[in-house]
Amino acid sequence: MRYTAFFFALLATAQQVGQNTTPGASGPATFTSSTQLVVETVVVTDKNGAPIDDLTAKDFAITENGAPQTIRVFEHQNLPKTPATVPTVTSDTSSVHLFDKLGKTHISPEASGSVKYKDRRLLALYFDMTAMQEGEQMRALQAARQFIRTQMQGPDLMAIMRYSGGSVDVLQDFTDDRNRLLSIVGTMIVGEREGLDVSNADASAADTGAAFGQDDSEFNIFNTDRQLSALQTAAIMLGQLNEKKSLIYFAGGLRLSGMNNQAQLHATVNAAIRAGVSFWPIDARGLVAEAPLGDATKGSPGGIGMYTGNSALAATSNFQQSQDTLYTLASDTGGKALLDYNDLTKGIVQAEQAVTSYYVIGYYTTNSAMDGKFRRVKITLTRDLAAKLDYRQGYYAGKEFSKFTAVDKERQLEDALLLGDPITELTIAMEVDYFQLNRSEYFVPIVVKIPGRELALVKRRGGERTLIDFIGEIKDDYGSTMTNVRDKVNVKLSDATAAELAKRPIEYDAGFTLLPGKYTIKFLARDDETGRIGTYQTSFIIPNLMKEEKRLPISSVVLSSQRVDFKDALYNAIKDKAQKEEPSNPLVQDGQKLIPSVTRVFSKARNMFVYLQAYEPGVETVRPLVAFVSFYRTQEKAWETPPIKVTASWDNRLKTMPIEFNIPLDALAPGKYDCQVSILDATGQKTAFWRAPIAVVP
C-alpha cells in the first residue's frame, strides 16, 4: 500500500542539507560565465603500429565543426608494457575491517584541465550482477582475482564497480593495492541480484501451462533499459577523470527488445564517448554449447515449434542477439568484446594492452551554445608524418534543462537515482516514522520538506505555479528494492500563497507498508522549471515490536506544531476515492492531518502536538497507562507536563492505545532542549522512554 499527499507547511524554518547557496541573499552583484572544457585522448602510431612519443602541443591542430580551437591542456601518457615490481600479494585479508571492505566509496574527481594519474593505466572492473546467473558471477569474480594476483602490471590502477539492480556502487576507487582489491572482490556475494532475468516470449519460451498471461517482453524492455542506464551512470562517474579509461564490463549477455531500447543504447554510448571511456565487455557465460531445446535450468518449450525447429532457432537467435549488444557497446566506444572464450582474464588483458601511449589534449570550445547537438572534432598533425591518429570524432554538447524533452527529463531523474553521490542543488529534509498495523506489518509515513524560496514560479493562465518531480525507492539490507514512488506535482498558487512561498517550506508526504527490518531510503526532488535536483538518503530500522518483552512496545513519536484539514491540502495524489480518508494513516483523525515537524523547531507562540501509539498485544483487558512529557536543558529538568491517564484503545489484536499531548510552549525560554516522552504500565510493570533534541524560538 502507498499513498502520497502534497501541501504547504506553516513552519518557516527548514533544515539545511548539503552545500546550497541561499537564494536571494543580499550582497554585491556578481557576473558569471561558463566555459566548456573538451578533452580528447589521442593515440598516434606510425605505419608499423608503433607509438610516436616525441610530439608537442605545437604538432597538433584541432577544429570543431570547422572552427579552429586553441589547445589549453596537453599531456603525454607513456605506459610501459613490461611488468614492474609489485608488492607481494598476501592471502590474509583479515587486516581489512569488514566495514571498510563493504563500505561504498566514489570516484575521486580531478581539477578541470589537470591530469591526476600521470603515466598510469586506468582499468575499472564493472560487475553487472543483474545480467549474470550465479555460475557466471563466480567465473567473473574468479577472473578478476586471477588477473589481480598474476597479471596486473606496475602502471595499472584498478577500480571496482557493481550494479545489483538498484544503484551503481563504487566499491573501490582507483588503486594499485592488490591486497585491497582482492579483499573487495572477496566480499562480493554470488547470487546478489534483483532477479532481472530475461523471459523470452517467442518459440523458445518454456511451457508453464499458462494459456493466458502478460507478455514478458514488457519487463525485458524495462530491465534492459535499467542495465544500460546503469552502465551510462558508471561512464559518467569515470568521466570526472581526463585520462583514457577502460571499463571491463562483466555480463552474461545483454539482449535488446527490438527498437525499444535503442534510445537508451545511444544515450549510453554517447555518455561513454563524451567521458572518454571505452567498453570492454566480457561474456561471462564463456564458450557455450547449448542443447537444441535448452538445458536443465529451464522448462521445455511447448507447441509445434519443438518439431519444426522454430524453438531451437529462436534460442540460438536470442543467444546471438545478446552477444551482438556487447559487440556494439565495444565497437562504438573503441573497445573489444570477449565472446565465446572460457579464459575471462583474456578480456582484461586485452583492455590493459590496448592502452600504452597516448596524448591528453584539451581545449575550451568557442561554441558556448548548450543545444545538445553533435559537434564534429578533427585533429591533425602540423608536421608531415606518416602517422595514424585514433581519437573520438566528435561529441554531443550539453543541453540546457529548458530544452530537455520528456524522455531527457525522465532519464535525468533515473540517472540521478543511480548515482552514488548525492546532488544538493535543492535542500531536502525528511522524517521517517513507523506505526504497527498488525502482527507483521508496519505503516511507514515519510515527510519531505523543501524550502519554498528555492523553487521557481512560472506564470501560466493568469496564475503562478511550481512543478516538482519526485522519485524515490526503499531498499532492504540486502540491496533489494522493496517499494518506490514516482510523482509529478503541479502546485497552482494564488497571489497570496505565491507571496508566502519565499518564507514557507513545501511539504510532500507518502506512506508505505513494510515488514520489520533495516532499510535505506533514497529520495530525489527536482524543480521542473530550473532542473535543480536535491537528494536525501538515510537508513532506518523498523523494530519487531512483537518480540519486545522487557519494555512497553511503542511506535515512533511524532512532534508537530500544526494540524490541517485533510480536504484543504493544496495537493493530494490519491486518486482512489475509497482511500480519501486514509484509514491506515494514524496521523489522520477526524478529517485532520497531523504534520510532523521534520526540523523539530517550534515557536513559543504555537502549541506542540505529541502523538504516539503504545501496544499491548496478547492481553484480554486493556491495562491503563500513564504518560507525561519532560523538557531538559543542560541535564536539568526545565519543565514537565502533568501526567495523563490513558485508558482508551482501538478494537484490534494489538490493543493499540493512541497517546496525544497538546503542549503550550510559552513556559519555555527560547533555546535548545531535550524532549523526553515517558510511558508507564504499572500493571504490567513495563516502561518506555523516547528522547530527541528540539529547539524553541520566539
The CATH number of the domain where 619 resides is what? Answer: 2.60.40.3880
pLDDT of 585: 78
Q: Is 119 left (phi over 0), alpha (psi -120 to 50) or beta?
A: left
Q: Which three cell numbers stand for residue 99?
A: 566495514
CA distance 368 to 34: 8
Q: Letter for the amino acid at 360? A: V
Judge whether residue 296 has pLDDT over 70: no
pLDDT of 219: 39
- Element housing 91 (H / E): none
Q: What percentage of the chain reaches a pLDDT higher than 70? A: 76
pLDDT of 148: 93
pLDDT of 192: 59
Judge whether residue 171 has pLDDT over 70: yes
When comparing pLDDT for 186 and 491, which is higher?
186
288 and 166 belong to one structural domain: yes
Asked if the structure places residue 617 within a domain, the reply is yes
pLDDT of 482: 86
Q: What is the DSSP letter of 67?
A: E
Give the lowest-confidence range in 283-297, 390-404, 599-613: 283-297
501 and 463 belong to one structural domain: yes
Beta bridge partners of 278: 246
Q: Is 127 left (phi over 0), alpha (psi -120 to 50) or beta?
A: beta
Position of cell 502534497? 6
Judge whether residue 317 has pLDDT over 80: no
Give the lowest-confidence range in 182-196, 385-399, 491-505: 491-505
Judge whether residue 370 has pLDDT over 90: no
Q: Which three cell numbers stand for residue 432?
A: 521517517
How far lies 540's CA from each of 432, 433, 436, 521, 543, in Å?
Answer: 8, 9, 15, 8, 10
When comparing pLDDT for 306 and 26, which is higher?
306
551 and 635 belong to one structural domain: yes
Q: Is 623 left (phi over 0), alpha (psi -120 to 50) or beta?
A: beta
User: Quick one: which of 362, 473, 486 has its CA closest to 73?
Assistant: 362
In sequence order, the 6+-apart residues with CB closer than 8 A to the CB of 15 are: 427, 429, 449, 598, 599
Q: Count of domains in the chain?
A: 3
55 and 15 belong to one structural domain: no
Last residue of a domain, one of 355, 375, 406: 355
pLDDT of 628: 95
pLDDT of 674: 92
pLDDT of 311: 67
Position of cell 529451464? 298
342 and 364 belong to one structural domain: no
Judge whether residue 339 has pLDDT over 80: yes
pLDDT of 574: 39
**pLDDT per position as a tens digit, 574-595:** 333 334 444 467 888 777 788 8
345 and 459 belong to one structural domain: no
State the pLDDT confidence band at 239, using cuts at 50, 70 and 90: confident
Asked if the structure places residue 413 within a domain, the reply is no
State the pLDDT confidence band at 114, using cuts at 50, 70 and 90: low
578 and 538 belong to one structural domain: yes
What does the H/E/C string look like for 245-275?
A: EEEEEEECCCCCCCCCCHHHHHHHHHHHHHH
391 and 454 belong to one structural domain: no
pLDDT of 493: 67
pLDDT of 58: 92
Q: How far is CA 63 from the centre of its chain?
A: 37
Q: What percentage of the chain reaches a pLDDT higher than 90? A: 27
Judge whether residue 478 has pLDDT over 70: yes
State the pLDDT confidence band at 459, using cuts at 50, 70 and 90: low
Judge whether residue 461 has pLDDT over 80: no
3-state secondary structure of 644: strand
64 and 135 belong to one structural domain: no
Asked if the structure places residue 409 within a domain, the reply is no
pLDDT of 71: 92
pLDDT of 347: 92
Q: In what side-by-side order are the strands of the sheet with 245-251? A: 168-175, 156-163, 121-128, 245-251, 277-283
CA distance 555 to 348: 52
CA distance 538 to 664: 32
**pLDDT per position as a tens digit, 594-646:** 888 888 889 888 899 999 999 988 888 888 999 999 999 988 899 999 999 99
pTM comes to 0.61
Judge whether residue 22 has pLDDT over 60: no
317 and 385 belong to one structural domain: no
- Element housing 23 (H / E): none
Q: Which three cell numbers stand for residue 349?
A: 588483458
Cβ proximity of 69 and 63 under 8 Å: yes
Cβ proximity of 209 and 301 under 8 Å: no
CATH number at residue 140: 3.40.50.410
Q: Which three cell numbers stand for residue 387?
A: 602517422
Asked if the structure places residue 32 within a domain, the reply is no
User: Quick one: which of 295, 290, 291, 285 has its CA closest to 342?
Assistant: 285
When comparing pLDDT for 58 and 529, which is higher?
58
150 and 59 belong to one structural domain: no
3-state secondary structure of 441: coil
Domain interval for residue 375? 37-79+360-396
CA dihedral over 429, 434, 435, 437, signed as positive or negative: positive
Cβ proximity of 431 and 17 under 8 Å: no
Give the lowest-confidence range in 350-359, 562-571, 605-614, 632-641: 562-571
pLDDT of 498: 66
Asked if the structure places residue 465 within a domain, the reply is yes
When comparing pLDDT for 461 and 372, which is higher?
372
What separation, in Å, do the N-terminal and C-terminal C-alpha atoms of the chain show?
40
Asked if the structure places residue 417 within a domain, the reply is no
Last residue of a domain, one of 326, 355, 384: 355
Q: Which three cell numbers stand for residue 323?
A: 552477444
48 and 12 belong to one structural domain: no
pLDDT of 165: 72
Judge whether residue 248 has pLDDT over 90: yes
When comparing pLDDT for 294 and 18, which is higher?
294
Mean per-residue pLDDT of the chain: 78
Q: What is the DSSP letter of 626?
A: E
pLDDT of 465: 72
pLDDT of 187: 86
pLDDT of 554: 93
**pLDDT per position as a tens digit, 649-694:** 888 888 899 999 999 998 899 999 999 999 999 888 899 999 999 9
Asked if the structure places residue 162 within a domain, the reply is yes
pLDDT of 130: 86
pLDDT of 227: 87
Asked if the structure places residue 512 within a domain, the reply is yes
CA distance 402 to 411: 15
Q: Letter for the amino acid at 558? A: V
CA distance 324 to 469: 36
* Average pLDDT, integer, range 301-323: 69
Judge whether residue 212 has pLDDT over 70: no
User: Quick one: which of 616, 617, 612, 634 has its CA closest to 678?
Assistant: 612
Q: What are phi and psi of 181, to 5 degrees?
A: -65, -45
Judge whether residue 36 has pLDDT over 70: yes
* Average pLDDT, integer, range 320-346: 88
The runs of H, that is alpha helices, within 34-158 are 98-102, 134-146
Query: Is 527 exposed, middle or buried (CB count within 10 Å of its CB: 0-12, 13-18, 19+)?
Result: buried
In sequence order, the 6+-apart residues with CB closer than 8 A to the CB of 438 are: 652, 653, 654
